[in-house]
Amino acid sequence: MEDPKDNDTSNALTEFKIERFRDGQAFPVDDVVAREEPLEIRLNGRTLVYLMRLPGDDVLLAVGFCNSEGLISERREIDLIQHCVDGDFDSQAPDGAGDGGAGPGNLVEIKAQIKDESERFATARVIRTGCGGADLEHEIDLDKVRVTSEKVFDPQVILKAPDQLLAAQEVFKVSGGTHGAGLFDAEGNMLVVKEDVGRHNAVDKVLGHLLMYGIDPAETGLVLSGRLSYEMVLKAARAGVPLLCSVSAPTALGVEVGRITGVTLVGFLRGAGFNIYSHPRRIGG
C-alpha cells in the first residue's frame, strides 16, 4: 500500500512575494503557486520515465502510469513498491528533467510481473507538464484494448460530477494551478479526486488509486478538467473504465479511440447539458 506520507499536499505549494496590479496600481502581496518537480519511475530496475508532476501521491502516480501504459493491469502483478523518502536511491535525471538527480522523495521503484509493452520504454523519456506520454514511434494495437462494461449512468449523476470534482480540488482552490481527475460510481458518489500540474498525471493518480484499492473499473466513470485527447482516452480504456467525461472538448483522435476501444466519451459537460461522442448506450435514465 502507498506510503502514509504520499497523500500529504503540504509540499505541493510554494509561497512567493509578488506584485499584483489592480485598478491602475501595483502593490506587494504574498501568493502561493503549485510546485512542479521531476519524479523518476523505475520498473524492475530500469528507469521508465521522468514525469514533471505535483509532489504528493507519488506511489499512486507511478502505479497508475504503469497501468495506463499497459504494463500492469492488476495489483497482484506488483511484487514490491519502494518510495524514496530519505535519499536512499542514487538517481541522475537526464537534461530537461530538473536540476541534478531526482532527489529524496522523487523516485518510486516498482518490481512487477509486466506485460509485453515494455519495449516502448527502452529509452527513458522526460514527460513535461503540458505533454502526454504518447510514443508515436511504436504503433499501439487498439484492437487489443476493449472495454466491455454495460454499466449505465443516469444523466443527473454525470451532470453533478464537475461540481463534485471542483469542490475536492484543494490545491486548485488556493493556487489555481492544477488539473483535476475524479472517479465516481453510478450512484453519484465521488470515490476519489486527485490533482496535478499535468492533466495526464492527475488521471494516473486516480487510476493508481483504483488499482491499489481494488475498485472495479467496470463500475466507474472518470471526470476530467482537461480535454479528451488520444492519450487520456487510451488511459481510461487500458484501465477498463467505461465512461470518460470532461468539461472540455474531445479531439478527433480521442473520439476515434473511444469508439474503437468501447469507451463512452462525454464532452462539454457544463451546466445542464453535455455531448456524447461514443457509445451512448451507457447513459440513460
Compute the 3-state secondary structure of the chain and give helix, strand, coil in percent, each to the nearest 5: 30, 30, 40
66 catalytic residue (yes or no) = no
Q: Which three cell numbers, joined as nine digits, stand for 96?
A: 530537461
Q: Are 276 and 264 in contact (CB under 8 A)?
A: yes
Q: Which three cell numbers, joined as nine digits, stand for 105?
A: 522523495
77 φ, ψ (degrees, to nearest 5): -80, -10
Residue tagged active-site, from 66, 84, 131, 245: 131
121 φ, ψ (degrees, to nearest 5): -115, 35
Q: Where are the strands (E) in the chain, listed by range?
A: 13-22, 25-34, 37-43, 46-53, 78-83, 107-112, 125-127, 179-185, 190-196, 220-224, 243-246, 264-270, 273-278
What DSSP character marks residue 3?
A: -
Alpha-carbon span 9 to 52, nearest angstrom: 16
Q: Are 147 and 241 in contact (CB under 8 A)?
A: yes
Alpha carbon separation from 139 to 135, 257, 278 (Å, rounded) = 8, 13, 23
Which residues make beta-bridge pairs with 163? none
Alpha-carbon span 132 to 203, nearest angstrom: 11
Task: Please name the residues in contact with 202: beta carbons below 8 A apart, sequence gap of 6 or more.
Answer: 178, 179, 180, 181, 194, 195, 196, 224, 225
Active-site residue set: 131
